[in-house]
Amino acid sequence: MKKKTKSTDLSAAEVKHVASLAKLVLTPKELEQYGSQLTEIIRYVNLLNEIDVSEVAPTSQVTNVVNVLREDTVTPSLDPDQVLMNAKRTYDGYFLVDAVLKEE
């Protein structure tokens, strides 16, 4: 993975790219506003650059617990009706989604 330099200013193109990764649709005004706000926040967090962490292991969570498993047995769960009850669009007991694959 190519490491980018830690440039502090987010370009409009970068903001657009991040928005599309996050599946957010933004207006041009929003793109500009978020661009400058994110830049300000990133500038603030860049103070971490000063810290030497070469000998430090990362902490992703604080419980020291790994691989919590359960027995592979069937236990009571939700009824299909309950599962579907909040969906805006359903069809024949399924969630309905927009087509991903287009027909030729």
Partner 1 sequence: MDLHTLTIQEALRGIEEKKYSAEEIRIACLSRINKYNPDLNAFITVNESSGKADFSGKKFMGIPVAFKDIYSTKGVRTTAGSRVLEDYIPPYNATVVEKITSAGGVLTGKTNLDAWAHGSSGENSDYGHSKNPWNQGFVPGGSSSGSAVALSAGMCLASFGTDTGGSVRLPASFCNLVGLKPTYGRVSRYGVIAMASSHDTMGHFTRTVYDSALLLSVSAGFDTHDATSAKRETDDYIKNIGNGVQNMKIGIPEEFFGDGLDARISALIKKTIKKYEELGAEIVGVNLPHSQDALAVYYILQPSEVSSNLGRYDGIRYGNGRQAFSPEAKRRIMLGTYTLSAGYYDAYYLKAMKVRTLIIRDYENAFKKADVLLGPVSPTLPFRLGEKTDDPLSMYLSDIYTVTINLAGIPSISVPCGFLEGLPVGFQLVGPQFAEELLFRAGYAYQQVTDWHTKYPQL
Angle at 79 between CA 86 and CA 84, to 5 degrees: 20
Q: Can residue 6 be called a binding residue for partner 1 (CB under 8 A)?
A: yes
Q: Which of residues 20-39 bind partner 1 (CB under 8 A)?
A: 21-26, 30, 34, 37-38
The token pair that represents 9 in the structure block: 């200013």
The token pair that represents 20 in the structure block: 């599309």
Q: How far is the CB of 47 from partner 1 (least distance, A)?
A: 5
- Other CB atoms within 10 Å distance of the CB of residue 13: 10
For residue 21, what is the enclosing H or E element? helix 12-21
Nearer to partner 1, 75 or 103 (CB): 75
- Kindly state the DSSP code that residue 101 receives in the 8-state scheme: S
Nearer to partner 1, 59 or 104 (CB): 59
Instruction: List the beta bridge partners of residue 94.
Output: 91
Chain positions contacting partner 1, by CB under 8 A = 1-4, 6, 10, 14-15, 18-19, 21-26, 30, 34, 37-38, 40-42, 44-45, 47-48, 51, 53, 56-63, 65, 68, 70, 78, 82-83, 85-89, 95, 97
